[in-house]
Structure 1
Amino acid sequence: MNFASDNIVGASNAVMQALVRANAGAMPAYGQDALTAAVKRRFAEIFEHDVAVFLVATGTAANALALASAVPPWGLCLCHEEAHVIDDECGAPEFFMHGAKLKGLPGAGGKLTAESVSACLDSLPSAVKQMPPKALSISQVTECGMIYTPAEIGALGKLCHDRSLFLHMDGARFANALVSLGCTPAEMTWKQGVDILSFGATKNGCLMAEAVVVFNPLLAEALDYRTKRAGQVISKGRLIAAQLEGYFAEDHWLANAAHANRMARLLADGLVAVPGTRLAWPTEANEVFPIVPKAVHRALQAAGAHYHSWTQVSLPAGQNVGPDEELIRLVVSFATAEDEIQNLLSVARAAQARLAAE
């Protein structure tokens, strides 16, 4: 019962088969091969837009390079206070921004609103002694499993462009959000004002393949050089592209995300049926955040369940975790089987039954 994250499983069969096919024979190095060119064209088709695409090996690299292209060394990037870019990447975005800083803002469920961002912008002094805001970064899906709707992204996009900020989206779980919303990639990105996207694929079936997708050509100019300096122009670049070829083929990426989202709903529905358990935030993608009795938490751990306890910082107003409760995060993946979920639910039910009998 391992629900620690969606990157604990390997690559999907379709991705591995594509990788094996691309492994045969010789092709030009450093992304100059026909396969990489074809995958970049595929991105343009998927997003219905001319895009510059830079294939990288990790999400941290994608985020750091994307933000470095949007924020000069004297600039400021706003984000949620629990966003992955500020909380989980060891300062990599600020390192690659060469001195620029991230500023975290509060928001329930890991989400920011146009109103809260506008208020922050209004509060910042304009004197040269302060770093001017140059970009906003949002996470889709957020660190609390929440999804920005196209309307919410659009409101942030309009605000950013009215205030001369670039809008970056950290799409580590992009496919999960897309499937949940039932919209198109274009409707979730550039049509709402997103200038640059960190497109995640590793969590949803790839071995290690991410991409920086640039909609605003002003941000593409230096990325060839930035990716090279960051060690992300991979010598055997076709093997990054091959993963994405298999990922996109026959909408495999969307099927993977749909399965993960279904498993998350099954898990969430099962947990809220256990007396004493409730959800901290709605289950909108492939992450479930239940607040469980500590006795249930201990029973799950004793049974070998792997997951993480979670922070209460972004709980909605009126929600709290009691002294005898634990807020935990459970993540399912494209490879999660229903019997894994039923096993965890059985342990939770049994633990709650023992607790009720005491």
Structure 2
Amino acid sequence: MNKRGFASDNFSGVLPEVLEAINEANQGHVMAYGGDHYTASAIEKFKHLFGENIDVYFAFNGTGANVIGLSVLTQSYNSILCPATAHIQVDECGAPDKFTGCKVIPIDTPNGKLTPELIKPQLHGFGFEHHSQPKVISITQCTELGTVYTPEEVKAICDLAHEHDMYVHMDGARLANAVVSLDVDAKEITTNAGIDVLSFGGTKNGMMLGEAVIFFNPDLSKNAKYIRKQSMQLCSKMRYIGAQFDAMLTNELWLKTARHANAMAKLLKDEVEKIPQVTITQEVQTNGIWALIPKDKIEKLQEEYFFWIWDEHTGEVRWLCSFDTTKEDILGFVDLLKQELA
């Protein structure tokens, strides 16, 4: 399957700049386990992005990053609150439950976003030994439905959490798409809003592999290095992850790629809105479109431009654009939609 489809930004290749950085790092011997200058340079760029008072740990993948962050913040008797659509609830095979020992409590939302009003009914049982103790609110930016939290919405959740001696974890697998959509400084929806730990995505935005776990209060992360090792997320040849992040954070490459993916999704939205048989189900704010199409047409469409079914019962599908999606990809897919849905 070499044709570009719309299944996932994980399907895309690797940015040329990232491949070049990997090749450059592939010279001679350097210290293992993060003791190299590539990793040090990337961490300095993260500090420039989010502030000096952060602690950064690289991991192989998003599930690993989430597990590390959540494990550091919790004990096994705690609970983690998240949207019912959250990746940690739906798509990580129970890894957060297994490794943290915590009860993950999903909360239904209309658009993938938690609000203080949705969270408050779960904030009870504090100090009661028969009840899992709420400790973390986990939000995703952008959400698993492509929607975004404004800085004010993030801060409201963080303020509520901190009032109850709780923490806020942000799954930022597609943080770049949210930053571009909101047109804000990354600090506004993380550091300044009160986020405690962030899983910063690299893979979906054009890296070969690698995510970063960022603690905004280093006092919280004193045991993170041990948990990363136990979680099998400590890379011995760390330079290859560090070099990728170093490239991504140079000249705002991480935002340029996301800006292109978002623009392609906007183009796709504008085109499919003209097709009567397509109903867009979520506001298109980032690089994804959720839509209802006739169920009997899905398989034929997937043969040409592969995409995932979001809800088999309703016929809702998800179309994601990537850093390498082209206008020709969009228009070719739209032509096929018109032909098959006519």
Category of TM-score, reference length = shorter chain:
over 0.9
1:231-274 CA-to-partner distances (Å, cap 9, x unmatched) read: 22211111110111111111111100000000000111111111
Over the aligned positions, Cα root-mean-square deviation in angstroms equals 1.5
1:250-265 equivalence runs, <5 A: 250-265=251-266
Tell whether the 8 Å contact from 1:295 to 1:351 is kept in structure 2 after alignment.
no
The answer to whether the 8 A contact 2:201-2:212 is kept is yes
State the 1:86 CA deviation.
1.2
Correspondence 1:27 to 2:30 = yes
Matched with 2:119 is: 117
Query: Aligned partners of 1:347 and 1:269: how far apart in 2?
Result: 16
Deviation at 1:336, TM superposition (A): 0.7
The answer as to 2:321 corresponding to 1:351 is no
The equivalent of 1:67 in structure 2 is 70
Contact kept? 2:147, 2:286, Cα under 8 Å: yes
**C-alpha deviation, 1:48, in angstroms:** 2.6
Q: Which amino acid aligns with 2:161?
A: C
Question: What corresponds to 2:305 in structure 1?
Answer: 305
Equivalents in 1 of 2:259, 2:284: separation in Å? 13
Q: Distance in 2 between matches of 1:73 and 1:352?
A: 51
The answer to whether the 8 A contact 2:53-2:217 is kept is no
TM-score of the superposed pair, with normalisation by structure 1 = 0.91
Question: Which residue among 51, 54, 64 is the counterpart of 1:51?
Answer: 54
Aligned to 2:16: 13
- Name the SS for the 1:236 alignment partner: coil
CA contact (8 A) 2:79 2:102 kept: yes
Q: Give the share of equivalent positions with the same residue, in percent.
A: 36
1:344 match: secondary structure: helix
**Unaligned stretches of 5+ in structure 2?**
none
Equivalent residue runs for 1:1-358 within 5 Å: 1-97=4-100, 99-122=101-124, 124=125, 126-294=127-295, 296-301=297-302, 303-311=303-311, 326-353=315-342
Helix, strand or coil for the counterpart of 1:288?
strand
Residues 295, 352 of structure 1: 8 Å contact kept: no
- Is the 2:307–2:317 Cα contact (8 Å) retained in structure 1? yes
Shift in CA distance, 300/226, structure 1 to aligned 2, threshold 3 Å = same
SS of the residue 1:235 aligns to: coil
Residue 320 of structure 1 corresponds to: none
